[in-house]
Structures are given as structure tokens and as C-alpha cells.
């Protein structure tokens, strides 16, 4: 299809299809809320107190299962935390990371109802954050998009997300993060975190208060520096946020800016079972003499000199809502994101596969001399991402109907390049600097993606206590992949593989329906149900990735373009909610939710390895294939019991059964996965939070229990179950001259110093997988002054 015909077809759907939006609201009154910020403000007010004690989790009363954590609870779990990690206390959410804050993206994993993090949807104030792939191509992590302390709330829809979510990756749930609006009263906030591993995190924010005619703004700064707990690398960086808000009788305008620059030296995973008895695999930087003496390392668990993820992001958006009347509202957003990133690894040139690669570029030469005499070469994956878009939504309340129509367009230009640099024995580089003067420009991929998504939804208030929703979205994604730099013959694994020139592939589904219902059985009990279909578009990445452009020949690319299909899913979800004041001894109130879900996931995509290599630094040639379907059934149960004014107990229990329905082939070998459990997702998980509040004092004891997780597609290896416990306690002082409030908080993570595997890297190979460790017990002290 020509680019012109693609564009015309997309515009036809954008302007002629019914447009759409997001949320199935329980009542016509709720449907007319004018802005997302108003919705969240109302939710926080409604949930601030329940039965005399604080409300830990806010449960939305919608046709789907959606739960929210507010800013206070997020920062109690850990000041400066990745807000995705905070959500791990919710049922159905399995998050793992080898960093106490959950900030290290290289060893981060998230599973929700059997779907991995790249199969979920993410937004910040409604602005798309991409699919959270570590190899950045279409977004950024929420902790890079906003300073953690500025996050006002974090929500997750574990089953079916809202139709209007600006995402083309959400086969499963959606995660929505909102930033705080500026305070109406002028003031400042200064926070300092100290702790284990030389932690030193600074946060400062200045609010203007309300000025002019309905204006307010803030500017904030954060710096984090902490030594990695098992090697001499310092993780952290700098971040700046600014937000401006204007309110008038009929208009609401906001603008937000984020700049983030960080470097995260990375822990390497341990390959099992060869690595049993080895818990960590740290790099050797900055002991260069020791590294040179060990540069001839072999085997799967050799150690690198250093490894790091370097990221710099600029994100800006403006949003405008106009109220034409009490029943007609128009929301508009425009955004821009630029990312400049580099993933860097300095590893031994003797690692399996590398001599062959280098010999293709330097035949007959002494490789040690070529790469600087250190015995090491430095590999980079260099990222450049430039994307911007528009989102527009019209909401109209007509009698018993609340109709929402809207559309989203994004243009994304991104580049990924693989390059190799020397590690000079006389002037070695560090993980904190950008590499210069590449010896090998191995390959470069450029991608140009146009995304058109439109939505239509109607919420019909059939009666006072019963409402129905129906709608659909159309999703059209066109990506043109090019190859300005191709890999040299013989430099890949196997030697006959090539980097394919690629071309244009479309992921199109013009009709993805959604249906839902809410029934207020009594003032205290509510039933809800949702049925929804979703599609995930193809990732924009090249060789070694699970994408069409990772094919190792142009013929393979053309075959997938003709016969391959994007992943799709059907989600069925139903449940009951309860919120009741009671008088049963010390128990004063209880609220909870029980939900059942069934998911049929079709056209599962897998990068099927054509060869196996002993060195992950190169990767092996893969063929992208649709390998069948997955069936998931599960239940989530959560409740919060309040015991008077001072105590509450939250508990979340989840059961998940996700199984592959089909076998698949790697060449002539059949991999028997039919009936096997999906990797990474435990059948059982349990979370609890015991909270106490006594005026200005508070404390929490938090537990997360993760069940057995299979680590190979054939289920012959697994990571054992483990439990991790955290504690926090604090006190807020008032009456100090010139200080409105001084909060002192202590945190202990991994209280019992549990040794276990956090994130696991599942493999198609029987008898082998790799995993990252759980961070050890750590202590942190936070001082927060409000001026």
C-alpha cells in the first residue's frame, strides 16, 4: 500500500468513523464531570476517611475493576518510589525489580493477569507513555515522566482498560498516573532522603499559590544518588518538573513540563542452573586492573567491566477543557516527547560469538590491539525518539445518555543503532559518559509510525441503580521501517543472517467493541461486568527483537507482512463490590471487591530463535511468528477492614491460571508448550498492609507474597515462591517557627533480608533461565519540611 493511500485511509477512519472515549461511568451525573483532575479530586475527598481511619486503596465504581493509590500512600511505601512498584500491593499485579525503589528499568518486570508489561497501556495525565519496553522506542517510564513526589495518584485497571486510553499496546489492563495540580496556597516543600548504600535524594518544590484570575503554578527539582547495593556504581540523576493551571468559569487549561537525565549502572542477571550458588553478578568497575586480569572470562556468567542505561527525556503537554454548557464539554491535549538514550556494556572480547563478529570487520587483525589493549570492547544500543500527538474528546450528556467521542493521533520517529567502541587500556571510559568515535557502526534502524485511534461510547442510565455502556474503538497503526546501515556479512549469528531492509507494515482493527454494566444492588453492594476486545500493534525495533523488522532476511519480512497478524485479546470480567459501615466489636467498617476474569489471547507473537548463542551480548537470529493462543482464568479478592479510628488491615489475594494452547516449531523441532503455564505469572499471590494512625503518627507493615513462577516455556524450571516484608513509620511535627509541618519518616525494605529471585528472564530453552536477585534489607530516613 502506498503512503498516500495509507494516509487517506487513516483520515477516512479518523473523520468518518464514530469517534470515542474512555470511561464507563456509573451514572449520568458522574459522566458530566468536567475534567480528569476534578474526578480524581472528588475520588480523594470521598475516600479520605472511611470508618474513622484512612482509606488505603480507592476502588472506582465503574464497569471494570479499577483501583487507585493516592500520593500519601505512594510516598509512605517509599519516598521517591517508582509508582508502578507502589501498585504491587494491589491484587493481580506482580512487579519485581532488583532496586529498592523499583527504578532500574533493565531488571524490571510487571505481569497483570498473565500479560507482561509490554502488553499493557500507560498514560500520565492522559498522555501516552508507550509500552515500557527497556529498548526505548515509543515512550518513557512514569518515574522519568514525572518526579515521584509530584504523582497525585496511580491507578490500574487490571482487566479491561478504558476505551479512551491513549495506548496501542494494552491487550490487558491499563495504568494511569496523574500529576498533582499546583496548590492554591503559596508555599514550598523540601525533602531529603538518607539511607543505605549512600542514598542521598533531594526534592524541592515551590508553589506560587493562586494569582491573577484563577492561575497557579509550581516548579520542582529532584536529584537522586545511591550506590548500587552489590557493586560500586552510583544510580540516579536529575529531574525538573513545572506545571501551570488556569481555571475560569468555562475553561480549564494546564501545561506540564518534564526534564529527566539519569544514569543507571546495571546489575547482570545470573544464568541458572550454571549459576546456582551465585546470587549476584556485579560488574567490576572501577577496578580496571582486576578487570584486565579477568578479561578472558568464559561461560554464561562471565562478568562485564560495566553496564549502564543512560537516558535523557523532555516531555511537555498542554491540555484545554471548555464547558459549552452543563451538558457539553470538549477536552483537548497536545504533547511532545524527545528521548536521547544509550544502553552500554563493556564486556570481554573473548565472549562466545564476539571474535567472529569482530573478524568480519577486522579480518586477520589482533582484536586486543584493535579495541585498545584492555581485553574489552564496548557495545552500545543508541536511541533517538521524537514523537508528538493530539488527543481530542467531546462529552455530551443527553437525557439518560452520556456520550463520549474522541480521537488520538501520534507521529513517532525513532532510531535504534548498534555500535562498538574500544576500551582503551590507557584511558578507560566509565558508565557515566557517552561513547565517542565508534570502531564499528554495525546497524541502524529508522522507524516512522503514524497512529490513528478513534472511539465512541455511550453510557445509558437505564434506571436509578442500573446503567449500561457500549462502544468501540478503531486502531490503525502504520510503521515504515528502514535500514540506513546494514550489518556486514558474517557479523551476525548465524553467519548467514542479515539485517533486513524491511518496509511498511500496518496493524489495523477498525472495530474493537466494548460492553459493560453496573448495578447498584443496594446502597452498599454493586455488581459490574465488562466485555472488551483489544489489539496490540507491532513494536518498532530491529534485529534481535520480537518485531517484523527483526527478521534475518527480506524474504522473512515479506512473508510476515503477508501472513503475520497483530496480537489481539478478548477480556471478560465481572465482580461484586462492598462498602459498609458495621458495628461488630472493634470492626467498624469494611470495603472490598471480588472479581472473576476470563481472557482469550490470540495470535501470540514470539521471536523464535533459529540458533542459540552462549553470549547474550550479540543475541541470536530470530524469526517472528504467531505461535497460537493463551487462555486465562482468574480471580482477585481484596478488602480493607477498619478497626475504629486507629487501625486498618488491607488484604489482596489473587489466583491466575494462564496456559498456552498450542505447540510451536523452531525449524524441525517442536516445542511442546500446549497446556503449559505462562511464564512469569504466579498462580497465587498475596498482599497485605496493616496500618495504624494516631493523630500525627502513623505506621505500616507491608507484605507481598509471590508464588512459584515458571521460567521456561516448557515449565521444566521455575523460580521458587518468596515473601518480602517492608515497614514504614513517621511523625509530623507542627508549631515549628517558619515551618508549617515537618514530617520525619523511616522505611525498612526487605525486613527479613530475604534472598530470592526477583525478575526472571524466561527462555524457550529447556533447562536454563536467568534471573536477578532481590535487593537486601535497606534502611531509609526522610525529612520533609513544608514551608
419-444: pLDDT as tens digits:
999 999 999 999 999 999 999 999 99
Of residues 686, 588, 578, 693, the one with CA closest to residue 643: 588
**Averaged pLDDT for residues 129-153:** 95
C-alpha of 494 from chain center: 33
Q: Is the pLDDT of residue 615 over 80?
A: no
In contact, 149 and 220? CB cutoff 8 Å: yes
Verify cis geometry, omega within 30 degrees of 0, for the bond prior to 494: yes
Question: Is residue 42 pLDDT above 70, yes or no?
Answer: no
Query: Is 730 exposed, middle or buried (CB count within 10 Å of its CB: 0-12, 13-18, 19+)?
Result: buried
* Gap between the Cα atoms of 22 and 604, Å rounded: 26
Number of H helices, E strands in the chain: 10, 42
The answer to whether residue 37 scores a pLDDT higher than 60 is no
Specify whether the CB–CB gap between 533 and 563 falls below 8 A: no
Taking residue 407's Cβ as centre, other Cβ atoms within 10 Å add up to 24
Q: Lowest-pLDDT range, 201-215, 426-440, 517-531, 608-622?
A: 608-622
3-class SS at 548? helix
Angle at the Cα of 130 (from 129 to 133), degrees rounded to 5? 120
**Whole-angstrom Cα distance, residue 481 to residue 540?**
8
What pLDDT is stored for residue 101 in this prediction?
94
Residue 242 has pLDDT above 50, yes or no: yes
Q: What is the mean pLDDT of residues 17-22?
A: 33
User: What is the rounded CA–CA span in Å between residue 438 and residue 370?
Assistant: 12
Count of other CB atoms within 10 angstroms of residue 460: 16
Half-sphere exposure of residue 430, counting CA atoms within 13 Å on the CB side?
9
Residue 1: pLDDT over 60: no
Nearest CA to 178 out of 273, 275, 245 is that of 245
| CB environment 611-633: b (16+ within 10 A), e (fewer) | bebebbbbbbbbbbbbbbbbebb
CB 360 within 8 A of CB 322: no
Q: What is the pLDDT of residue 766?
A: 82
Which conformational region is residue 619 in: left (phi greater than 0), alpha (psi within -120 to 50 degrees), or beta? Answer: left
Cβ distance 59 to 90 under 8 Å? no
CB 179 within 8 A of CB 245: no
Q: What is the pLDDT of residue 47?
A: 38
Tell me how long the chain is: 787
**What is the average per-residue pLDDT within 522-538?**
96
d(CA 394, CA 769): 49
**Mind listing the pLDDT tens digit for each residue in 697-711?**
999 999 999 999 999
pLDDT of residue 611: 54
The answer to whether the beta carbons of residues 681 and 89 sit under 8 Å apart is: no
CA gyration radius for the chain?
A: 26
pLDDT at 610: 62
pTM of the entire predicted model: 0.92
- Residue from 328, 339, 151, 346 nearest 233 by CA: 346
Dihedral sign computed on CA atoms, order 113, 636, 653, 150: positive
Rounded to an integer, what distance in angstroms lies between the CA atom of residue 222 and that of residue 202?
A: 5
Asked if residues 271 and 299 have their Cβ atoms less than 8 Å apart, the reply is no
- Residue 766 has a CB neighbour count (10 Å cut-off) of 14
Report pLDDT for 614. 39
Confidence at 18, pLDDT banded by 50, 70, 90: very low
Give the contacts of 612 (CB within 8 A, at least 6 positions apart): 620, 765
As a whole number of angstroms, the distance between CA 123 and CA 291 comes to 42
Of 566, 406, 420, nearest to 488 by C-alpha is 420
- How many angstroms separate the CA atoms of 472 and 20, rounded? 7
pLDDT at 490: 87
- Tell me, what's the pLDDT at 623? 82
Look at strands 741-749 and 722-733 and give their pairing: antiparallel
8 A C-beta contact, residue 582 and residue 532: no
Kind and range of the H or E run holding 145? helix 142-145
CA 390 remoteness from chain centre: 22
Q: Cα 423–428–430 angle (5° rounding)? A: 100
Cβ atoms within 10 Å of 256's Cβ, excluding its own = 22
Write down the pLDDT at residue 21.
Answer: 31
Higher pLDDT, 154 or 9: 154
Alpha-carbon distance of 498 to 500, in angstroms, equals 6
Q: Is pLDDT larger for residue 617 or for residue 29?
A: 617
Residue 120's Cα: distance from chain center in Å?
8
Give the model confidence (pLDDT) of 536-558 as tens digits. Answer: 999 999 888 889 999 888 999 99
Q: 118 with 169: CB under 8 angstroms?
A: yes
Is the Cβ–Cβ distance between 121 and 175 less than 8 Å? yes
Under 8 Å between Cβ of 593 and 577:
yes
Work out whether the CA dihedral 140, 144, 150, 154 comes out positive or negative: positive
H/E run at residue 694: strand 684-694
Q: For the residues 206-225, what does the mean pLDDT come to? A: 96
Compute the distance between CA of residue 212 and CA of residue 219 in angstroms, rounded to an integer: 18
Provide the phi-psi class of 470: left if phi over 0, else alpha when psi is between -120 and 50, else beta.
beta
Lowest mean pLDDT among 2-16, 249-263, 471-485, 719-733: 2-16
Whole-number pLDDT of residue 585: 87
Q: What is the mean pLDDT of residues 461-471?
A: 97
Average pLDDT value over all residues in the chain? 90
Q: Is the pLDDT of residue 64 over 70?
A: yes
CA distance 145 to 103: 12
Residue 34 has pLDDT above 80, yes or no: no
pLDDT tens, 662-711?
999 887 789 999 999 999 999 999 999 999 999 999 999 999 999 999 99
Would the pLDDT of 612 be above 60? no
For the residues 624-632, what does the mean pLDDT come to?
Answer: 94
- For residue 526, pLDDT over 50 is answered with yes
Q: What is residue 550's DSSP assignment?
A: G
Amino acid at each position: 500500500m502506498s503512503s498516500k493511500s495509507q494516509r487517506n485511509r487513516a483520515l477516512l477512519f479518523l473523520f468518518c468513523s464514530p469517534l470515542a472515549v474512555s470511561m464507563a461511568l456509573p451514572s449520568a451525573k458522574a459522566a458530566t464531570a468536567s475534567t480528569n483532575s476534578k474526578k480524581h479530586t472528588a475520588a480523594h475527598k470521598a475516600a479520605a476517611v472511611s470508618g474513622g481511619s484512612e482509606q488505603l486503596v480507592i476502588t472506582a465504581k465503574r464497569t471494570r475493576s479499577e483501583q487507585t493509590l493516592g500520593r500519601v500512600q505512594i510516598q509512605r511505601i517509599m519516598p521517591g518510589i517508582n509508582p508502578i512498584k507502589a501498585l504491587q500491593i494491589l491484587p493481580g499485579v506482580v512487579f519485581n525489580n532488583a532496586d529498592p525503589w523499583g527504578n532500574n528499568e533493565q531488571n524490571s518486570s510487571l505481569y497483570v493477569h498473565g500479560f507482561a508489561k509490554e502488553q499493557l497501556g500507560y498514560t500520565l495525565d492522559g498522555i501516552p507513555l508507550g509500552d515500557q519496553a527497556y529498548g526505548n522506542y515509543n515512550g518513557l517510564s512514569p518515574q522519568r515522566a514525572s518526579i515521584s513526589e509530584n504523582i497525585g495518584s496511580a491507578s490500574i485497571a487490571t482487566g479491561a482498560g478504558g476505551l479512551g486510553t491513549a495506548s496501542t499496546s494494552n491487550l490487558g489492563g491499563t495504568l494511569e498516573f496523574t500529576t498533582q495540580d499546583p496548590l492554591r496556597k503559596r508555599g514550598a516543600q523540601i525533602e531529603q532522603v538518607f539511607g543505605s548504600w549512600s542514598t542521598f535524594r533531594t526534592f524541592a518544590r515551590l508553589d506560587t499559590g493562586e494569582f491573577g484570575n484563577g492561575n497557579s503554578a509550581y516548579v520542582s527539582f529532584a536529584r537522586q544518588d545511591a550506590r548500587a547495593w552489590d557493586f560500586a556504581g552510583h544510580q540516579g540523576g536529575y529531574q525538573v518538573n513545572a506545571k501551570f493551571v488556569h481555571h475560569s468559569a468555562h475553561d480549564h487549561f494546564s501545561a506540564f513540563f518534564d526534564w529527566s537525565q539519569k544514569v543507571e549502572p546495571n546489575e547482570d542477571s545470573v544464568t541458572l542452573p550454571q549459576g546456582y550458588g551465585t546470587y549476584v553478578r556485579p560488574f567490576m568497575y572501577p577496578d580496571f586492573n582486576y578487570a584486565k586480569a579477568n578479561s578472558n572470562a568464559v561461560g554464561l556468567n562471565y562478568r562485564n567491566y560495566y553496564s549502564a542505561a543512560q537516558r535523557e527525556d523532555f516531555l511537555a503537554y498542554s491540555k484545554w477543557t471548555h464547558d459549552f454548557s452543563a451538558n457539553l464539554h470538549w477536552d483537548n491535549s497536545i504533547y511532545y516527547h524527545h528521548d536521547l538514550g544509550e544502553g552500554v556494556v563493556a564486556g570481554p572480547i573473548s565472549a562466545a560469538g564476539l571474535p567472529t563478529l569482530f573478524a568480519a570487520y577486522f579480518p586477520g587483525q589482533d582484536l586486543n590491539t584493535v579495541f585498545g589493549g584492555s581485553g574489552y570492547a564496548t557495545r552500545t544500543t543508541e536511541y533517538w525518539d521524537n514523537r508528538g500527538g493530539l488527543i481530542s474528546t467531546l462529552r455530551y450528556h443527553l437525557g439518560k445518555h452520556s456520550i463520549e467521542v474522541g480521537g488520538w493521533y501520534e507521529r513517532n520517529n525513532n532510531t535504534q543503532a548498534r555500535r562498538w567502541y574500544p576500551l582503551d587500556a590507557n584511558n578507560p571510559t566509565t558508565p557515566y559518559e557517552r561513547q565517542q568515535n565508534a570502531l564499528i557502526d554495525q546497524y541502524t534502524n529508522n522507524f516512522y509510525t503514524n497512529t490513528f485511534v478513534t472511539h465512541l461510547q455511550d453510557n445509558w442510565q437505564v434506571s436509578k441503580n442500573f446503567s449500561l455502556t457500549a462502544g468501540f474503538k478503531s486502531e490503525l497503526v502504520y510503521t515504515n521501517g528502514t535500514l540506513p546501515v546494514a550489518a556486514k556479512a558474517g557479523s551476525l549469528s548465524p553467519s548467514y543472517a542479515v539485517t533486513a531492509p524491511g518496509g511498511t507494515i500496518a496493524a489495523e482493527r477498525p472495530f474493537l467493541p466494548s460492553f459493560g454494566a453496573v448495578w447498584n444492588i443496594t446502597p452498599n453492594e454493586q455488581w459490574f461486568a465488562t466485555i472488551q476486545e483489544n489489539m496490540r500493534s507491532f513494536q518498532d525495533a530491529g534485529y534481535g527483537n520480537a518485531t517484523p523488522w527483526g527478521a534475518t532476511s527480506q524474504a522473512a519480512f515479506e512473508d510476515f507482512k503477508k501472513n503475520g497478524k497483530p496480537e489481539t485479546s478478548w477480556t471478560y470480567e465481572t465482580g461484586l463490590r462492598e462498602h459498609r459501615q458495621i458495628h461488630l466489636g472493634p470492626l467498624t467498617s469494611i470495603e472490598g471487591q471480588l472479581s472473576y476474569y476470563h481472557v482469550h489471547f490470540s495470535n501470540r507473537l514470539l521471536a523464535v530463535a533459529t540458533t542459540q548463542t552462549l553470549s547474550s551480548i550479540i543475541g541470536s537470529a530470530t524469526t517472528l511468528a504467531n505461535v497460537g493462543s493463551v487462555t486465562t482464568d482468574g480471580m482477585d479478592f481484596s478488602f480493607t477492614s477498619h478497626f475504629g479510628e486507629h487501625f486498618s488491615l488491607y488484604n489482596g489475594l489473587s489466583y491466575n491460571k494462564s496456559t498456552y494452547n498450542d505447540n510451536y516449531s523452531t525449524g524441525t523441532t517442536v516445542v511442546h508448550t500446549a497446556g503449559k503455564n505462562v511464564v512469569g505469572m504466579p498462580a497465587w499471590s498475596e498482599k497485605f498492609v496493616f496500618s495504624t494512625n494516631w493523630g500525627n503518627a502513623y505506621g505500616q507493615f507491608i507484605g507481598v507474597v509471590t508464588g512459584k513462577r515458571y521460567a521456561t516455556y516448557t515449565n521444566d524450571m521455575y523460580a521458587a515462591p518468596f515473601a518480602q516484608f517492608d515497614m514504614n513509620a513517621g511523625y509530623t511535627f507542627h508549631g515549628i517557627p517558619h515551618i508549617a509541618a515537618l514530617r520525619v519518616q523511616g522505611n525498612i525494605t526487605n525486613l527479613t533480608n530475604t534472598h530470592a529471585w526477583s525478575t526472571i528472564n524466561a527462555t524457550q530453552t529447556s533447562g536454563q533461565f536467568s534471573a536477578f536477585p532481590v535487593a537486601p534489607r535497606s534502611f531509609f530516613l526522610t525529612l520533609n519540611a513544608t514551608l
